[in-house]
Structure 1
Amino acid sequence: MLNKIVPYQERDHDKVIDIWYQAVCHTHAFLTDEDIEFYRQMLQNGALKEVEIWLEVNENNEPVGFIGLDGTKIEMLFVDPQYHGRGIGSRMIRHAEKIKGSHLQVDVNEQNDGACTFYQRLGFVQIGRSERDSSGRPFPILHLVLGS
């Protein structure tokens, strides 16, 4: 049975936090343990309620990745590292495009080479750059938009 994309439900909260944590530890080598804990607390304490979340679930209906949307902006996209390279992120982007249109935007950490390459491969182009992230921390952010 193929994976499917389903709406987030509150019962998935802890698994989504775990996917986020595992993915960040695997892909954000530039963050310290303290940085990761700072962002984890933000997510744990309500950031998930501020976005529209879709999950990709496996054949056992267990979440393996998620995308968080605010209108046409991708606020978060994380895949369990055990499932990296299986097309989950690409499928979630296509799902977002299907429900939100082709003018998707995303901010990505400049130091996260894998994510930068992933979004460029899918047709996103850089339209700006910020020296600090949305929390004011010194992690440069690239602003990308899906090319037309």
Structure 2
Amino acid sequence: MSAIRRSAAADSEALTDIWRAAVKATHDFISESDFREIETLVAEHYIPNASLWVAVDAAGRPLGFMGMTGSHVDSLFIAPERRGTGLGTALMDHARKTAGLPLTVDVNEQNPQAVGFYERLGFKQFERSPLDDAGRPYPILHMRKTAG
């Protein structure tokens, strides 16, 4: 990775591809119909309209992205072939430097890799919702990092 930069309109397709591949690799609990519904929302509404931070390689190609609202991390997705290379940690370090602490994040309880990632970074669960924000049966863990 060479940099973290703001997203541009030209990134939409690449970021949608990263989202799609990352979700397919880590969210095997999501039904196909829910996946298609969420994919439409992400591709047509979220990615084109959100101000995202993008981790890019030396050639400027997106490798992962993060969305934030204030000190809340709304999204963090890394291309599957780049998972475990420090990109997620670099983006979360950027979040801490940008927004300060505490930071919060919501993570699918059924995605143990993501839960473990955030726990390794010092996040602790402070609440649990039995349904996601659209009322689907995907429990959400609300996590917060308050120190270092």
Range class of TM-score, shorter chain: over 0.9
Counterpart residue type for residue 42 of structure 1: L
Is 1:35 the counterpart of 2:67 in the alignment? no
Aligned partners of 1:134, 1:103: CA distance in 2, in Å? 22
> 2:16–2:47: 8 Å Cα contact kept in structure 1?
no
For residue 13 of structure 2, what is the aligned residue in structure 1?
14
Provide structure 2 residue ranges, at least 5 long, that are not aligned to the other structure. Answer: none
SS in 1 for 2:54: strand
Aligned partners of 1:55, 1:8: CA distance in 2, in Å? 6
Provide structure 1 residue ranges, at least 5 long, that are not aligned to the other structure. Answer: none
TM-score normalised over the length of structure 2: 0.95
Aligned partners of 2:49, 2:132: CA distance in 1, in Å? 17
Is 1:93 the counterpart of 2:92 in the alignment? yes
Deviation at 1:49, TM superposition (A): 5.0
Aligned partners of 1:52, 1:70: CA distance in 2, in Å? 9
Deviations 1:44-100 (A, max 9, x none): 121235543100001111000000001111110000001011000000000011011
SS in 2 for 1:45: helix
Counterpart residue type for residue 98 of structure 1: K
Aligned partners of 2:9, 2:88: CA distance in 1, in Å? 21
> 1:67–1:77: 8 Å Cα contact kept in structure 2?
yes
Moved over 2 A (4+): 48-52
Is 1:71 the counterpart of 2:70 in the alignment? yes
Deviates more, 1:14-23 or 1:25-34: 25-34
Deviation at 1:3, TM superposition (A): 2.1
Quote the sequence identity (%).
37
Aligned partners of 1:66, 1:24: CA distance in 2, in Å? 13
How many residues align? The count is: 147
Deviations 1:18-54 (A, max 9, x none): 0000000000011122221111111112123554310
